[in-house]
Amino acid sequence: MSDQTLPETEAPGIRQARPGRLTSLLHGSETLRGLSLLSPTLLFMSIMILLPFAILLVMSFWTPVGFEFDTTPTLNNYREAMERPIYGALLERSLRMSGIATVATVILCYPMAYYVAFHVHRNKMMWIVLMTLPFWTSYLLRVFAWKVVLGYEGVINSALISVGVIEKPLEFLLYSQSAVIITLAHAWAAFAILPLYVSLEKIDRSLLEAATDLGDGPVMRFLRVTLPLSLPGVISASLLIFIPTTGDYITPALLGGPDGAMIGNLIQKQFGPINDWPMGATLSIILMLAIAFICAVFILLTLFVRKRIS
């Protein structure tokens, strides 16, 4: 897909750069060589991303008939998704839960990223590796670990009972929205720390000195210099957590129970036990549209606020 269209658009540029020399076209044309190196990756990603998404979109207009599909395009799935309250409620709940998890993660991770960017002077790399190491290990097992911690007879409950603080296990710990939110915030922390750290690290230290020299105290200096300059990091951290967690499957499936179920669980059900693939495709498309819409609003809002401030 891509290897057909891309070199074609580059062709005029090549001719312009070095006219007349065939060897330079073959060896000297940077763009062509770069694209040919990039083509295996681009080709693979195009086939494996764009094609499945296209078919997913097409399937969302189909109707299931037994184990086959009626391929006449219809908007019935979308109409059903709008009309039956369960779909909208689950979507709204997913967006709200991952929104809370996102805000919590960014607020909790900001001081940590700030600390490493401004107060760690030796072994910075070590700190970054330490902060991001758990993120590389199995997501499933990290969620499983939270099940062990929050369980009815888990770490927290049994520890509190053996100390004598409570007599009966706290039931709200597991299978609740709060369990899912805690686990999401914990599991995606690395996604917040890295962009926050990068944007804080980039801040020119002389700006902070200038603010101090001009009479700002630590709090005002932070609010007027550090925070606005680290805003790009805050935005990308928020998006990097919000987008994937909204469609999360493992955490609500293991820790959510009926109260904490999210849209990802419903999508999986359509492809599994319910066996209504077109509806699953429709819900996936709606989920992506909802995420894209909220992200667009969020970005526009921050741009607007930033303009107002400066």
Nearer to another protein (CB atom), residue 78 or residue 277: 277
Nearest distance from residue 285's CB to another protein, in Å? Answer: 9
By CB under 8 A, the residues from 29 to 48 that bind another protein are 30-31, 33-38, 40-42, 44-45, 48
Instruction: Annotate each residue in 101-140 with x if it binds another protein (CB under 8 A) or - if it does not, as one string.
Output: -------x--xx-xxx-xx-x--xx--xxxx-xx-xxxxx
What string of DSSP letters covers 259-275? TT--HHHHHHHHHTTS-
**Residue 46: closest CA among 105, 84, 1, 106:** 1
Identify whether the C-beta of residue 116 lies closer than 8 Å to the C-beta of residue 259.
Answer: no
- Contact status: 65 vs another protein (CB under 8 A): no
Residue 142 found at the interface with another protein (CB under 8 A): yes
Q: Which is nearer to another protein, 40 or 88 (CB)?
A: 40
Among 18, 84, 96, 202, binds another protein (CB under 8 A): 202
Q: Does 78 bind another protein (CB under 8 A)?
A: no
CB of 27 to another protein, least distance (A): 8
Q: Of 173, 175, 177, 186, which one interacts with another protein (CB under 8 A)?
A: 186
- Scan residues 257-296 and list those touching another protein (CB under 8 A): 264, 267-268, 271, 277, 280-281, 284, 287-288, 291
| Nearest distance in Å: CB 114, another protein | 7
Side-chain half-sphere exposure of 123, counting CA atoms within 13 A: 5
In sequence order, which residues have a C-beta less than 8 Å from that of residue 100 and are 6 or more positions away? 181
Of residues 1, 18, 24, 53, which one binds another protein by CB under 8 A? 53
Residue 45 C-beta: closest distance to another protein, Å: 6
Please enumerate in sequence order all residues whose Cβ is within 8 A of that of 280, keeping only pairs 6 or more positions apart, or say none: 267, 268, 269, 270, 271
Identify the residue among 24, 74, 158, 275 touching another protein (CB under 8 A): 158
Q: Distance between CA 172 and CA 152 in Å, rounded? A: 9
